[in-house]
């Protein structure tokens, strides 16, 4: 199974839509900022927190970048 098929299968299992290419890029940026601002393990945790908060990837990226700039 390639990454697109896997993503589609997971989205279907979660009963959510497949993220757009832009959303995927923002999530990857969130993970990158989190990993480089603290420890690598913070990348998935910060992404999870942004989902719990109900933020769009764009909103979350703005907030995470702001927090990272304060460190």
Q: 26-65 pLDDT, tens per residue?
A: 999 999 999 999 999 999 999 999 999 999 999 999 999 9
Q: Compute φ and ψ for 40, nearest 5 degrees.
A: -55, -35
Q: What is the mean pLDDT of the chain?
A: 96
| Burial letters 30-43, b for 16+ CB under 10 A, else e | bbebbeebeeeebb
Asked whether 20 and 8 are in contact (CB, 8 A), the reply is no
Q: How buried is 62 (Cβ within 10 angstroms: 0-12 exposed, 13-18 middle, 19+ buried)? A: middle
Asked whether 61 and 54 are in contact (CB, 8 A), the reply is no
pTM for the predicted model, two decimal places: 0.88
């Amino acid at each position: 199974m390639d990454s697109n098929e896997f993503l589609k299968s997971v989205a279907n299992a979660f009963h959510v839509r497949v993220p757009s290419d832009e959303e995927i890029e923002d999530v990857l940026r969130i993970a990158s900022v989190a990993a480089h601002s603290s420890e690598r393990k913070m990348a998935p945790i910060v992404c999870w927190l942004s989902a719990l908060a109900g933020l769009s990837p764009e909103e979350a990226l703005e907030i995470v970048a702001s927090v990272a700039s304060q460190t």
